[in-house]
A and B are shown apart, each in its own frame.
Chain A
Amino acid sequence: MTWDPTCVTEELVVNMGPQHPSTHGVLRLILRLDGERVLEVRPDIGFLHSSLEKIAERLDYRQYLPYTDRYDYLCAMANELAYVRAVESLLGVEPTPRCQWIRVMMAEMNRIASHLVYYGALGMDTGATTVFLYCFRERERILQLFEDASGQRLLYHYFRIGGLRNDLPPGFCEGLRSFLDEFPRRVAEYDALLTRNRIFRSRTEGVGYLSPEAALSYGVTGPTLRGSGVSYDLRRAAPYYVYPELEFDVPTRPEGDVMARHLVRQEEMLQSVHLLHQCLDRLPPGEINVKVPRKLKPDPGEIYVRIESPRGELGVYLISDGSEKPYRLHWRAPSFHNLQAYPEMCQGAYVADLVAILGSLDIILGDVDR
């Protein structure tokens, strides 16, 4: 038998997921393959749909707050921040300066914790198990601080409409400072362990390219967008709370591949450390709560609030009809829009690359399906 170069292998349709360890939740990918090469990827989502938007219409403004933690469980503080900001804007309430500083601090700590999960998970996805354990060791220290402050490790319910559940506990600032002093050394360790690893580099460099034009069209935001060379961060573009007073860089990488997105997140953790140092230095004393009525009845109206969550642009569209319950609440979930660009990044990739590309998107399926 002679070799025929025009010969193509038979196309194969494979289901990856919904239960698959590297899909970070319940995501089904329908793959059309030619050998190892991917011809088409179709994400099938909705397995974790929890009708969060409908639930909001049945609860009053305060009762809904714990739900905001649960939909994107790795950055509960960011979700709380977005929701609380939306309700406070509707009510016309401005939180106290100390409250604003603490909220920003918590959001930045949560950003580090969330990026650490990403970091470890991408290591696992590409076959490096050790770095996952390292990352979780450091993440545990942040979660311990969160537990000291709010009583919870993951789903905090720490922000309240008009303020916070309680002020920072004694020893919190010292604990945070000792973590911040140590953490940059740890990041250097991860960098040596994972980012400069030759195998990891060959798995991630030049893989999963996303052009800035495609990112614009798909509405990709967050570190995924900044990995394509677009310097867009809502903390800078549309600053809220005390961010205008803080000094920080918005890391970007022009390459647009998995490695670029990875490096952006690695640098963002260090920027968050820088931000947290400034917060600790400048944290003002004072009240943390402003008085809000017992029954919250915002005047009829609507508000669209956006913040920069660890995954990108998190939007809350909240409509009030003057009653105790929101008339309509819509979440602009960053993972949902980022995942939509996934097939674009997978063009011409190999099956093994799919896992690395998905890891670099840092999606949370609770956030995708809501």
Chain B
Amino acid sequence: MSEGQEQQIASVSSPEPLSAELQEIAGDLTTGGCVRAGRPELLTTPENLLPLLNRLHELPEPYSRLTDLCGVDWGDRVQVVYALCRGYGAEMVLVKVDLPRAQAEVPTVTGLWQLAFWPEREVAEMFGVTFVGHPNCEHLLLPEGFVGYPLLKDYEYDRSNPLLSPDPLREDPDAVLGGPPSEDETGAS
């Protein structure tokens, strides 16, 4: 097994070039791509995202199943990652879109897969990405009115945010409940 093991070490950290098949299918719509640990990755732009996904969707053996959608903060840019599977098989491709932090906008894929409704809302509230065309991009996990994007690397806990402010009952119970109980009330010795 040592051979396979060494191969695995090499492939996770050092990507290999894309297969000829994927290069031919997606080459003109991507800005880069590689194979990491046996799994292809395609890098694309927001404009080319939907055409690329559509093309993968319309192959004779299509990448028809979106299984996952998440965001990654790379400092200057935010990346949205789409994990697509070839039907119900083992083959999977990761499609990545780089978005500038200042203008993080990407078209929604809810028209293609209903799975995307919730994960896109999650990425929107956690990373500040706007999904153009999403029918309802309210907060999903965070409370309404929450300020900031918690999964960004530079997010800082903001005490002035009313939704994060300390519970007055816990901070100063006397002020809320009207003073400490007198000694004879507590019955302490």
Contacts and interface: CB of A to CB of B under 8 A. Distances in A.
Q: Are A and B genuine complex partners? A: yes
Interface of A: 45-46, 49, 51, 53-54, 57, 89-90, 92-94, 214, 216-219, 221, 230-232, 237-238, 298-304, 306, 313, 315, 317, 319, 328, 330, 332, 336-337, 340-341, 369-370
B67 A45 contact: no
A215 to B, nearest CB: 10
A322 B78 CA distance: 19
Contact of B114 (A45, A217, A303, A330): A217
16 contacts: A45-B140, A51-B150, A90-B12, A214-B114, A217-B113, A217-B114, A218-B114, A219-B68, A230-B88, A232-B88, A301-B36, A302-B12, A302-B36, A304-B39, A313-B67, A315-B68
Interface string B148-179: 00110100000000000000000000000000
A46 B140 contact: yes
Given A46-B143, A92-B8, A219 B88 contact: no
Interface string B5-48: 11011001110000000000000000000001101000000000
B65 A216 contact: yes
B19 to A, nearest CB: 18
Most buried by A among B65, B67, B141: B141
B1 interface: yes
A322 B141 CA distance: 30
B117 A340 contact: yes
Contacts of A221: 67
Interface string B75-87: 0000001010000
Contacts of A315: 67-68, 83
Contacts of B115: 217-219, 337, 340
Interface in B60-113: 64-68, 70, 72-73, 81, 83, 88-90, 92, 94, 113
A167 B97 CA distance: 45
Contact of B81 (A214, A306, A317): A317
B12 to A, nearest CB: 4
Contacts of B73: 328
Contacts of A53: 151
A203 B140 CA distance: 31
A319 B73 CA distance: 11
Given A298-B12, A340-B118, 19 more contacts: A45-B140, A46-B141, A51-B150, A94-B1, A216-B64, A218-B114, A218-B115, A219-B68, A219-B113, A230-B88, A238-B89, A303-B12, A304-B94, A315-B83, A317-B81, A328-B73, A340-B117, A369-B141, A370-B141
Nearest to B37: A303
A332 B67 contact: yes
Contacts of A340: 114-115, 117-118
A298 B141 CA distance: 31
Contacts, number: 102
Contact of B92 (A54, A299, A300, A304): A304
Contacts of B39: 304
B33 to A, nearest CB: 14
A90 B37 CA distance: 9
Contact of A317 (B70, B90, B141, B151): B70
B147 interface: no
Nearest to A232: B88
Contacts of A337: 115, 118
Contacts of A232: 88
A238 B65 CA distance: 15
Given A92-B5, A340-B115, A219 B141 contact: no
A320 to B, nearest CB: 8
Given A317-B81, A336-B118, A92 B88 contact: no
B59 interface: no
B161 to A, nearest CB: 15
A57 to B, nearest CB: 8
A89 B4 CA distance: 12
B83 A304 contact: yes
Contacts of A230: 88
A300 B12 CA distance: 8
A214 B39 CA distance: 27
B142 interface: yes
Contact of B151 (A54, A218, A237, A302): A54
Given A304-B39, A304-B94, A340-B118, A46 B142 contact: yes
Contacts of B83: 304, 315, 317, 332
A184 B143 CA distance: 46
Contact of A92 (B12, B65, B150): B12
Contacts of B1: 94
Contacts of A330: 68, 70, 72
Contacts of A302: 12, 36
Nearest to A221: B67
B88 to A, nearest CB: 4
Contacts of A301: 12-14, 36
B141 A328 contact: no
Contacts of B68: 219, 304, 315, 317, 330, 332
